[in-house]
Structure 1
Amino acid sequence: MLTSLPNLLTLSRIALIPVILALLWFPATWTAWTAAGLFALAGITDYFDGYLARAWHEESIIGRFLDPIADKLLVAAVLFLLVADHKIAGHAVLPAVIILLREVMVSGLREFLAGLRVGVPVSRLAKWKTAIQLMAIGWLIVGDHGPDWLYVRPIGEIGLWAAAVLTLITGWDYLRAGLRHMLAPAGASVQVEPAAKAPAAAPVRTGA
Protein backbone atom coordinates (compact mmCIF):
# COMPACT_ATOMS: atom_id res chain seq x y z
CA MET A 1 0.00 0.00 0.00
CA LEU A 2 1.09 3.57 -0.65
CA THR A 3 1.29 4.51 3.03
CA SER A 4 3.71 1.73 3.99
CA LEU A 5 7.05 2.97 5.31
CA PRO A 6 9.09 1.74 2.31
CA ASN A 7 6.79 3.58 -0.09
CA LEU A 8 6.80 6.69 2.09
CA LEU A 9 10.61 6.67 1.97
CA THR A 10 10.46 6.49 -1.82
CA LEU A 11 7.95 9.34 -1.96
CA SER A 12 10.12 11.40 0.39
CA ARG A 13 12.98 11.01 -2.10
CA ILE A 14 10.80 12.50 -4.82
CA ALA A 15 9.63 15.27 -2.48
CA LEU A 16 13.23 16.23 -1.71
CA ILE A 17 14.04 16.90 -5.38
CA PRO A 18 12.46 20.40 -5.66
CA VAL A 19 13.95 21.36 -2.29
CA ILE A 20 17.45 20.36 -3.42
CA LEU A 21 17.01 22.16 -6.75
CA ALA A 22 15.77 25.31 -5.01
CA LEU A 23 18.84 25.33 -2.76
CA LEU A 24 21.15 24.86 -5.75
CA TRP A 25 19.40 27.70 -7.58
CA PHE A 26 20.67 30.19 -4.99
CA PRO A 27 24.43 29.62 -4.79
CA ALA A 28 25.88 30.10 -1.33
CA THR A 29 28.00 28.03 1.00
CA TRP A 30 25.13 27.14 3.32
CA THR A 31 22.76 26.25 0.46
CA ALA A 32 25.40 24.02 -1.16
CA TRP A 33 26.08 22.11 2.05
CA THR A 34 22.38 21.86 2.88
CA ALA A 35 21.61 20.57 -0.62
CA ALA A 36 24.43 18.03 -0.31
CA GLY A 37 23.06 16.87 3.04
CA LEU A 38 19.55 16.45 1.66
CA PHE A 39 20.93 14.64 -1.38
CA ALA A 40 22.79 12.26 0.93
CA LEU A 41 19.57 11.72 2.88
CA ALA A 42 17.75 10.93 -0.36
CA GLY A 43 20.48 8.43 -1.23
CA ILE A 44 20.05 6.73 2.15
CA THR A 45 16.31 6.33 1.55
CA ASP A 46 17.20 4.62 -1.74
CA TYR A 47 18.81 1.84 0.27
CA PHE A 48 16.32 1.56 3.10
CA ASP A 49 13.09 1.57 1.07
CA GLY A 50 14.09 -1.61 -0.75
CA TYR A 51 15.68 -3.18 2.33
CA LEU A 52 12.62 -2.62 4.51
CA ALA A 53 10.22 -3.72 1.78
CA ARG A 54 12.01 -7.06 1.56
CA ALA A 55 12.59 -7.46 5.30
CA TRP A 56 8.97 -6.66 6.20
CA HIS A 57 7.51 -8.48 3.17
CA GLU A 58 5.90 -5.25 1.97
CA GLU A 59 6.91 -5.45 -1.68
CA SER A 60 4.27 -3.80 -3.81
CA ILE A 61 3.55 -2.97 -7.42
CA ILE A 62 3.45 0.76 -6.64
CA GLY A 63 6.81 0.47 -4.88
CA ARG A 64 8.31 -1.34 -7.83
CA PHE A 65 7.01 1.43 -10.08
CA LEU A 66 8.07 4.41 -7.94
CA ASP A 67 11.53 3.30 -6.80
CA PRO A 68 13.42 3.46 -10.13
CA ILE A 69 11.50 6.58 -11.14
CA ALA A 70 12.53 8.35 -7.93
CA ASP A 71 16.17 7.38 -8.49
CA LYS A 72 16.24 8.61 -12.07
CA LEU A 73 14.38 11.85 -11.34
CA LEU A 74 16.78 12.66 -8.51
CA VAL A 75 19.96 11.97 -10.47
CA ALA A 76 18.81 13.56 -13.73
CA ALA A 77 17.45 16.74 -12.14
CA VAL A 78 20.57 17.37 -10.06
CA LEU A 79 22.96 16.59 -12.93
CA PHE A 80 21.11 19.00 -15.23
CA LEU A 81 21.30 21.80 -12.70
CA LEU A 82 24.96 21.14 -11.87
CA VAL A 83 25.82 21.39 -15.57
CA ALA A 84 23.76 24.57 -15.93
CA ASP A 85 25.53 26.06 -12.89
CA HIS A 86 28.95 25.02 -14.29
CA LYS A 87 29.68 22.85 -11.26
CA ILE A 88 30.05 20.15 -13.88
CA ALA A 89 31.94 21.65 -16.79
CA GLY A 90 34.44 20.84 -19.52
CA HIS A 91 35.29 17.18 -19.96
CA ALA A 92 33.33 16.30 -16.80
CA VAL A 93 30.11 16.86 -18.77
CA LEU A 94 30.82 13.68 -20.76
CA PRO A 95 30.35 11.20 -17.87
CA ALA A 96 27.18 13.06 -16.89
CA VAL A 97 25.83 12.58 -20.42
CA ILE A 98 26.82 8.89 -20.37
CA ILE A 99 24.98 8.37 -17.08
CA LEU A 100 21.82 10.09 -18.33
CA LEU A 101 21.78 8.22 -21.65
CA ARG A 102 22.21 4.91 -19.86
CA GLU A 103 19.27 5.72 -17.57
CA VAL A 104 17.07 6.36 -20.60
CA MET A 105 18.21 3.12 -22.26
CA VAL A 106 17.68 1.01 -19.14
CA SER A 107 14.21 2.48 -18.61
CA GLY A 108 13.26 1.50 -22.15
CA LEU A 109 14.69 -1.99 -21.78
CA ARG A 110 12.92 -2.54 -18.47
CA GLU A 111 9.62 -1.51 -20.03
CA PHE A 112 10.20 -3.86 -22.97
CA LEU A 113 11.19 -6.81 -20.78
CA ALA A 114 8.32 -6.16 -18.37
CA GLY A 115 5.94 -6.69 -21.28
CA LEU A 116 7.49 -10.15 -21.67
CA ARG A 117 7.23 -10.75 -17.91
CA VAL A 118 11.00 -10.94 -17.67
CA GLY A 119 12.92 -9.12 -14.96
CA VAL A 120 16.60 -8.23 -14.91
CA PRO A 121 18.18 -8.64 -11.47
CA VAL A 122 20.34 -5.85 -10.11
CA SER A 123 23.97 -6.97 -10.05
CA ARG A 124 26.44 -6.18 -7.30
CA LEU A 125 28.36 -4.04 -9.80
CA ALA A 126 25.22 -1.99 -10.51
CA LYS A 127 24.83 -1.36 -6.79
CA TRP A 128 28.43 -0.16 -6.60
CA LYS A 129 27.75 2.08 -9.59
CA THR A 130 24.79 3.65 -7.84
CA ALA A 131 26.73 4.21 -4.61
CA ILE A 132 29.73 5.80 -6.37
CA GLN A 133 27.43 7.91 -8.56
CA LEU A 134 25.51 9.30 -5.58
CA MET A 135 28.69 10.06 -3.63
CA ALA A 136 30.25 11.80 -6.64
CA ILE A 137 27.19 13.97 -7.21
CA GLY A 138 27.13 14.86 -3.52
CA TRP A 139 30.73 16.09 -3.71
CA LEU A 140 29.96 18.06 -6.86
CA ILE A 141 26.98 19.73 -5.19
CA VAL A 142 29.38 21.16 -2.61
CA GLY A 143 31.88 22.03 -5.35
CA ASP A 144 33.95 25.14 -4.72
CA HIS A 145 32.16 25.77 -1.42
CA GLY A 146 34.24 23.05 0.21
CA PRO A 147 37.61 23.67 1.89
CA ASP A 148 40.55 24.00 -0.51
CA TRP A 149 42.55 21.24 1.16
CA LEU A 150 39.77 18.70 0.56
CA TYR A 151 39.84 18.93 -3.28
CA VAL A 152 36.06 18.54 -3.36
CA ARG A 153 35.46 19.16 -7.06
CA PRO A 154 38.34 16.96 -8.37
CA ILE A 155 37.21 14.09 -6.13
CA GLY A 156 33.64 14.52 -7.37
CA GLU A 157 34.75 14.54 -11.00
CA ILE A 158 36.89 11.42 -10.54
CA GLY A 159 33.93 9.70 -8.91
CA LEU A 160 31.67 10.75 -11.77
CA TRP A 161 34.08 9.25 -14.32
CA ALA A 162 34.26 6.03 -12.28
CA ALA A 163 30.46 5.88 -12.17
CA ALA A 164 30.32 6.46 -15.94
CA VAL A 165 32.67 3.52 -16.57
CA LEU A 166 30.54 1.25 -14.39
CA THR A 167 27.48 2.69 -16.11
CA LEU A 168 28.77 1.49 -19.49
CA ILE A 169 29.56 -1.98 -18.14
CA THR A 170 26.23 -2.49 -16.38
CA GLY A 171 24.35 -0.84 -19.25
CA TRP A 172 25.85 -3.40 -21.63
CA ASP A 173 24.63 -6.19 -19.32
CA TYR A 174 21.08 -4.84 -19.55
CA LEU A 175 21.38 -4.40 -23.32
CA ARG A 176 22.54 -7.99 -23.82
CA ALA A 177 19.58 -9.25 -21.79
CA GLY A 178 17.21 -7.20 -23.91
CA LEU A 179 18.78 -8.16 -27.24
CA ARG A 180 18.36 -11.87 -26.51
CA HIS A 181 14.61 -11.30 -26.50
CA MET A 182 14.48 -8.70 -29.28
CA LEU A 183 16.40 -10.89 -31.73
CA ALA A 184 14.70 -14.17 -30.82
CA PRO A 185 12.44 -15.64 -33.55
CA ALA A 186 8.75 -15.02 -33.03
CA GLY A 187 7.31 -17.56 -30.62
CA ALA A 188 10.74 -18.82 -29.56
CA SER A 189 11.49 -19.31 -25.89
CA VAL A 190 14.57 -17.46 -24.69
CA GLN A 191 16.51 -19.06 -21.89
CA VAL A 192 17.26 -16.77 -18.97
CA GLU A 193 18.83 -17.39 -15.61
CA PRO A 194 16.30 -18.30 -12.91
CA ALA A 195 17.20 -15.17 -10.96
CA ALA A 196 16.24 -13.02 -13.93
CA LYS A 197 12.63 -14.12 -13.84
CA ALA A 198 10.44 -11.57 -12.12
CA PRO A 199 7.98 -13.32 -9.76
CA ALA A 200 4.42 -12.51 -10.69
CA ALA A 201 2.93 -12.88 -7.22
CA ALA A 202 5.44 -10.78 -5.30
CA PRO A 203 6.90 -7.92 -7.31
CA VAL A 204 10.11 -6.58 -5.89
CA ARG A 205 11.79 -3.24 -6.04
CA THR A 206 14.54 -2.85 -8.55
CA GLY A 207 17.11 -0.16 -8.95
CA ALA A 208 20.26 0.22 -10.94
Structure 2
Amino acid sequence: MYDMTTTQDLRTQIAEPNLTRILLADTRLAPLWTVLRIWLGWQWLHAGWGKITNPAGVWVGEKAGVAIEGFLKGALGKTAGEHPDVSGWYASFIQNVALPNAELLSYMVAFGEVLIGVALILGIFTGIAAFFGGLMNANFLFAGTLSTNPIMLIAAFAVVLGWRVAGQYGLDRVVLPYLGVPGAPGTLFRHDARLPQTPIPPAA
Protein backbone atom coordinates (compact mmCIF):
# COMPACT_ATOMS: atom_id res chain seq x y z
CA MET A 1 0.00 0.00 0.00
CA TYR A 2 1.15 3.53 -0.72
CA ASP A 3 0.75 6.15 1.98
CA MET A 4 0.22 9.57 0.42
CA THR A 5 1.75 11.29 3.47
CA THR A 6 5.03 9.43 3.32
CA THR A 7 6.71 11.63 0.72
CA GLN A 8 5.70 14.83 2.48
CA ASP A 9 6.89 13.50 5.86
CA LEU A 10 10.30 12.75 4.41
CA ARG A 11 10.54 16.31 3.14
CA THR A 12 9.68 17.95 6.45
CA GLN A 13 11.05 15.56 9.09
CA ILE A 14 14.59 14.57 10.00
CA ALA A 15 15.06 10.82 10.22
CA GLU A 16 15.76 9.47 13.70
CA PRO A 17 19.34 8.17 14.05
CA ASN A 18 19.69 4.45 14.70
CA LEU A 19 21.45 5.06 18.02
CA THR A 20 18.67 7.16 19.53
CA ARG A 21 16.03 4.82 18.15
CA ILE A 22 17.74 1.88 19.87
CA LEU A 23 18.26 3.73 23.15
CA LEU A 24 14.91 5.51 23.36
CA ALA A 25 12.43 3.42 21.37
CA ASP A 26 13.63 -0.19 21.34
CA THR A 27 11.56 -2.39 23.66
CA ARG A 28 14.51 -4.74 24.10
CA LEU A 29 15.97 -2.11 26.43
CA ALA A 30 12.72 -1.83 28.38
CA PRO A 31 14.11 -3.76 31.39
CA LEU A 32 16.85 -1.15 31.87
CA TRP A 33 14.35 1.68 31.60
CA THR A 34 12.10 -0.13 34.08
CA VAL A 35 14.87 -0.28 36.67
CA LEU A 36 15.64 3.44 36.26
CA ARG A 37 11.94 4.34 36.35
CA ILE A 38 11.19 2.36 39.50
CA TRP A 39 14.30 3.68 41.26
CA LEU A 40 13.29 7.24 40.47
CA GLY A 41 9.71 6.56 41.52
CA TRP A 42 10.83 5.12 44.84
CA GLN A 43 12.91 8.24 45.57
CA TRP A 44 9.85 10.42 45.07
CA LEU A 45 7.45 8.13 46.92
CA HIS A 46 9.80 7.84 49.90
CA ALA A 47 10.31 11.61 50.08
CA GLY A 48 6.62 12.44 49.71
CA TRP A 49 5.37 9.80 52.12
CA GLY A 50 7.81 11.05 54.74
CA LYS A 51 6.30 14.52 54.42
CA ILE A 52 2.69 13.33 54.58
CA THR A 53 3.28 11.14 57.62
CA ASN A 54 5.52 13.65 59.43
CA PRO A 55 4.35 13.47 63.08
CA ALA A 56 4.85 17.21 63.60
CA GLY A 57 2.42 17.99 60.76
CA VAL A 58 4.71 20.66 59.32
CA TRP A 59 3.96 19.56 55.74
CA VAL A 60 0.41 18.22 55.93
CA GLY A 61 -1.72 18.95 58.95
CA GLU A 62 -2.23 21.68 61.53
CA LYS A 63 1.21 23.22 60.96
CA ALA A 64 1.21 22.81 57.19
CA GLY A 65 3.52 25.30 55.55
CA VAL A 66 5.96 25.63 58.44
CA ALA A 67 8.60 23.38 56.90
CA ILE A 68 8.44 24.82 53.41
CA GLU A 69 8.37 28.37 54.77
CA GLY A 70 11.60 27.68 56.64
CA PHE A 71 13.08 26.14 53.50
CA LEU A 72 12.12 29.15 51.36
CA LYS A 73 13.43 31.67 53.87
CA GLY A 74 16.68 29.72 53.96
CA ALA A 75 16.83 30.00 50.18
CA LEU A 76 16.44 33.78 50.41
CA GLY A 77 19.49 33.82 52.64
CA LYS A 78 21.54 32.43 49.74
CA THR A 79 21.02 35.43 47.48
CA ALA A 80 23.93 37.48 48.81
CA GLY A 81 27.47 37.73 47.48
CA GLU A 82 29.03 37.99 44.04
CA HIS A 83 28.06 34.44 43.13
CA PRO A 84 24.78 33.72 44.99
CA ASP A 85 23.37 30.21 45.11
CA VAL A 86 19.90 31.60 44.44
CA SER A 87 19.33 33.98 41.52
CA GLY A 88 17.52 37.27 41.96
CA TRP A 89 14.61 36.30 39.71
CA TYR A 90 13.97 33.14 41.73
CA ALA A 91 14.23 35.07 44.98
CA SER A 92 11.51 37.36 43.61
CA PHE A 93 9.36 34.31 42.84
CA ILE A 94 9.87 33.04 46.39
CA GLN A 95 8.93 36.37 47.98
CA ASN A 96 5.95 37.20 45.80
CA VAL A 97 4.46 33.79 44.97
CA ALA A 98 5.82 30.92 47.06
CA LEU A 99 5.92 32.41 50.57
CA PRO A 100 2.42 33.97 50.45
CA ASN A 101 1.08 30.55 49.44
CA ALA A 102 3.33 28.43 51.63
CA GLU A 103 0.52 26.29 53.08
CA LEU A 104 -0.95 25.43 49.68
CA LEU A 105 2.51 24.82 48.27
CA SER A 106 3.28 22.50 51.19
CA TYR A 107 0.34 20.24 50.29
CA MET A 108 1.21 20.40 46.60
CA VAL A 109 4.81 19.33 47.22
CA ALA A 110 3.97 16.50 49.61
CA PHE A 111 1.15 14.95 47.60
CA GLY A 112 2.82 15.79 44.30
CA GLU A 113 5.90 13.80 45.27
CA VAL A 114 3.74 10.81 46.22
CA LEU A 115 1.74 10.95 42.98
CA ILE A 116 4.89 11.22 40.89
CA GLY A 117 6.40 8.27 42.74
CA VAL A 118 3.33 6.08 42.35
CA ALA A 119 2.98 6.93 38.65
CA LEU A 120 6.63 6.09 37.94
CA ILE A 121 6.56 2.85 39.91
CA LEU A 122 3.37 1.70 38.19
CA GLY A 123 4.60 2.97 34.83
CA ILE A 124 1.53 5.03 34.03
CA PHE A 125 1.87 8.36 32.20
CA THR A 126 5.59 7.81 32.71
CA GLY A 127 6.81 10.71 30.60
CA ILE A 128 4.44 13.21 32.23
CA ALA A 129 5.32 12.03 35.75
CA ALA A 130 9.05 12.23 35.02
CA PHE A 131 8.61 15.74 33.57
CA PHE A 132 6.91 17.06 36.69
CA GLY A 133 9.45 15.28 38.87
CA GLY A 134 12.24 16.97 36.97
CA LEU A 135 10.43 20.30 37.32
CA MET A 136 10.38 19.87 41.10
CA ASN A 137 14.08 18.92 41.10
CA ALA A 138 14.84 22.05 39.07
CA ASN A 139 12.97 24.22 41.60
CA PHE A 140 14.91 22.70 44.48
CA LEU A 141 18.14 23.42 42.60
CA PHE A 142 17.03 27.00 41.89
CA ALA A 143 16.46 27.32 45.64
CA GLY A 144 20.10 26.40 46.22
CA THR A 145 19.63 22.81 47.39
CA LEU A 146 21.81 20.09 45.85
CA SER A 147 21.33 16.80 47.75
CA THR A 148 20.17 14.14 45.24
CA ASN A 149 18.42 16.68 43.01
CA PRO A 150 21.06 16.77 40.22
CA ILE A 151 21.05 12.96 39.91
CA MET A 152 17.26 12.77 39.99
CA LEU A 153 16.98 15.57 37.44
CA ILE A 154 19.27 13.72 35.02
CA ALA A 155 17.30 10.51 35.57
CA ALA A 156 14.00 12.35 35.00
CA PHE A 157 15.36 13.93 31.82
CA ALA A 158 16.38 10.48 30.58
CA VAL A 159 12.96 8.96 31.35
CA VAL A 160 11.22 11.82 29.54
CA LEU A 161 13.33 11.08 26.45
CA GLY A 162 12.72 7.34 26.73
CA TRP A 163 9.02 7.53 27.60
CA ARG A 164 8.06 5.28 24.69
CA VAL A 165 9.70 2.24 26.31
CA ALA A 166 10.12 3.37 29.93
CA GLY A 167 6.54 2.30 30.67
CA GLN A 168 6.65 -0.85 28.54
CA TYR A 169 6.65 -3.02 31.66
CA GLY A 170 3.97 -0.95 33.30
CA LEU A 171 0.44 0.36 32.85
CA ASP A 172 1.46 2.54 29.90
CA ARG A 173 1.51 -0.61 27.81
CA VAL A 174 -2.27 -0.80 28.26
CA VAL A 175 -3.26 2.83 28.82
CA LEU A 176 -1.40 4.58 25.99
CA PRO A 177 -2.82 2.49 23.12
CA TYR A 178 -6.26 3.12 24.59
CA LEU A 179 -5.92 6.88 25.20
CA GLY A 180 -3.30 7.65 22.58
CA VAL A 181 -0.64 10.37 22.54
CA PRO A 182 -0.61 13.86 20.98
CA GLY A 183 -0.95 13.46 17.24
CA ALA A 184 -1.95 9.80 17.47
CA PRO A 185 -5.35 9.25 19.16
CA GLY A 186 -5.96 5.91 20.81
CA THR A 187 -8.83 3.52 20.30
CA LEU A 188 -10.98 5.49 22.76
CA PHE A 189 -11.01 8.53 20.48
CA ARG A 190 -11.00 6.81 17.11
CA HIS A 191 -14.74 6.55 16.59
CA ASP A 192 -14.27 5.08 13.13
CA ALA A 193 -11.95 2.33 14.33
CA ARG A 194 -14.61 -0.34 13.82
CA LEU A 195 -15.65 0.86 10.38
CA PRO A 196 -14.27 -1.01 7.38
CA GLN A 197 -11.24 0.79 5.95
CA THR A 198 -11.00 1.50 2.24
CA PRO A 199 -7.60 0.33 1.06
CA ILE A 200 -5.43 2.97 -0.61
CA PRO A 201 -4.59 1.87 -4.17
CA PRO A 202 -0.92 1.42 -4.99
CA ALA A 203 0.87 4.22 -6.78
CA ALA A 204 0.73 4.09 -10.54
Taking structure 2 as the reference length, the TM-score comes to 0.28
Structure (1 or 2) with the larger CA radius of gyration: 2
Taking structure 1 as the reference length, the TM-score comes to 0.27
Bigger helix share:
1
